[in-house]
Every structure is written in C-alpha cells, then in structure tokens.
Amino acid sequence: MNLLADLLVTAAFAFAFSMGAHYTGACMGMSYASGAIRPLPALLLMAPLTLAGAALASGGVESTVGHGLLLAATVPVALALATLASAFLLTTAFNLAKVPTSTIQLLVFSVVGAGLAHHLEINWGTIERLLLLWAIAPFAAFALGYLLVRVADRRLLPHAEAPSELVGMAAFGLVAMGSIASFAMGANDVSNASGAFIMTGLFSPLTAGLIGGAGLALGVLTWGQPLLKRVAFEIVQLDPRMATSAQLSQAAVILSYVSFGYFTSMNQALVGAMIGAGFARPSGKIKWAAVRGIAVGWGVGPLSGAAVGAGLTFLLAYVHLL
C-alpha cells in the first residue's frame, strides 16, 4: 500500500479505538450502575463480543457506508482519509468532554461534507432514510423500555422487595443484556471506521470488520471507564429491572436496524430506553440537566461533522493530495 493507504488504515484503527471507548457506557453502563459487574470485568467481557459483532454481523452496514452514501464507484483514498480524520477528531473531542454523541452521525455527515467539498454526488435518498430512522430510534426505544418495565412490574414481584434469588437473576440478566448490546455495537458501529476500506476498495468486508473490530476492542479495554461511568450514573436512576428493560430495548432496536443494513446511535437508543423506563415508574428520577447536555451533543455532532469533513477536504486539495 502507498502512504495514503497506510494513513487511512491508521486513521480507521484510531477512530475505531475512540469509538470503543465512547460506547462502553451504552453497552455496559446499566450492568455497572446496578452493581451487577465491576468495571474491569465489564470491559473484559465487552471487548471480545464487540470484535465478534464487527467481524461476523457488520456486512450489511459496511455496504451501506461503503456504497450507499456517495454515488461513486470508488472514492479517492485521500477523501476517505479526510472523512475518517474528521470523525475521529470529533469523537475524541466528545470523549474528552465526557459527552455521549453519535459517532454514526459524525461519520455520515463528515462523508457528506467531504463529498460536497470534492464535488461528488451525494446519495440523498440514503441520507433521508437514515435521518428518518435516526429520528425513530430513540422513540422506539423509549416505547419499548416503558412497555417492558410495565409488563415486568405486573408479572413479577413488586420492585421494592425481592428475594435474593431474583436479585441474582436480575444481575445475570443485566450482564446478559450488556453482552448482547456489546455484540450489537460491533455490528452497528464498526463500519464508521472500516466502511472507508469498502469505499476505496482496499479490503473485503470481513477484513475491514476485523481491523475495525480490533480497534474497537482495544479502545474498550484501555480508555473505556470514563464513558462507562457517565452513562451509568448521570442520566436516570434505575433499579436492576428497569435497567435490564432499558438495555434490552436498546439492543432490540439496534439489531433490528443492523438486520436491514442500516445503523443508528447506540447512545440515542439507550437514552431513549432509559427515559422510557424512568417514565414507567412514579419513582423514576430523570436527570433532565444531563439529558439536555447530551441532546446538545447530538445536535452539534452532524453539523460539526459536515464542517470538519469539508474543511479537511479543502486542506488536502490545497496541498495537492486530492
């Protein structure tokens, strides 16, 4: 590979690394918050499951990113590099600020900004479908989270008192749901980084998923705790039953999207599910100040992605790399 291709692989791995850290809270935050699992075991469990999801279940989403966003047979390596650099820089900035955001939306709008700056035709049909699906996801997760808590409260013992066996079952259920969410995250999010390999024709989907999945897993293990704690403790106070319902709702929404070759925000689905679970109980305490801060991050993300993606594309063109 030439220097630009080497830089693209490095940038993809770095972006995947940043995403792995970013989504620890979205996958294992509920298990950790409830005391079902400690931070290190949570991260050690999450990392291989994330890699498995990326390697085995990301093909449809890889195709959407690789061939569905820009109407071009192949994309210049330098342009793909600009989109990844944009998404990586912005994700890292949000990580440092400890604000969950959507890396998917950062990546997609970085591609849009870079494509417009390079005078490529955008597949606006795909963008419109993604925008609609992104808008639906948190509300679908909200409704499912609300419903699951209400059903669980009717069918199981009252949440105030529960035998130790049920407490243990709840802890096991939470860890199981976090494990499913970790697999779903690998399938859903790896293409943010490795989709660039499909755009440029550098690697097959399997190889792309393995490279991106390795970056995700390493990010989980080495830089995952700050976002794990942020999502776990600062949005809604949930008991184990509510947390299990929220995590199951998130995983169901994500995996349903992935099965059709689309992707959506892990954090937005989880926050929607958590708020739904909170609304299902009179005692649910939603910390609206934290929710508002996260919502600002979601709103700023796409605009910043488009701006930085375009800016980096102009920069590469200025130095005659595009």
Predicted confidence at residue 306, as pLDDT, reads 95
Domain map (residue ranges) of the chain: 3-318
pLDDT at 100: 64
Q: Is 6 helix (H, G, I), strand (E, B) or coil?
A: helix
Q: Give the model's pLDDT for residue 13.
A: 94
Task: Tell me what pLDDT residue 160 has.
Answer: 47
Main-chain phi, psi angles of 286, to 5 degrees:
-90, 130
Whole-prediction pTM? 0.87
Identity of the amino acid at 293? G
Q: How many C-beta atoms surround the C-beta of residue 234 within 10 A? A: 18
CA pair distance 6, 253, nearest whole angstrom:
35
Tell me the backbone φ, ψ of residue 102, rounded to 5 degrees. Answer: -105, 105
pLDDT at 271: 85
Q: Are 115 and 70 in contact (CB under 8 A)?
A: yes
Tens-place pLDDT, residues 4-37: 899 999 999 988 998 898 889 889 988 887 788 9
**Residues pairing with 70 in the sheet:** 122
CA distance 214 to 138: 28
Residue 216: closest CA among 248, 178, 196, 188: 188
Residue ranges of the chain whose pLDDT lies below 70: 1, 99-100, 156-167, 229-236, 283-285, 289-290, 293-294
Whether residue 55 contacts residue 209, with contact meaning beta carbons closer than 8 Å, is answered with yes
Q: What is the pLDDT of residues 279-292, one digit of tens each?
A: 888 766 677 766 77
Would you call 321 helix, strand, or coil by DSSP? coil
CA distance between the termini of the chain = 17
pLDDT of residue 2: 85
The pLDDT of residue 230 is: 64
Instruction: Return the residue matching tokens 């499909």.
Output: 198
Which of 102, 33, 2, 114 is closest to 69 using CA atoms? Answer: 114
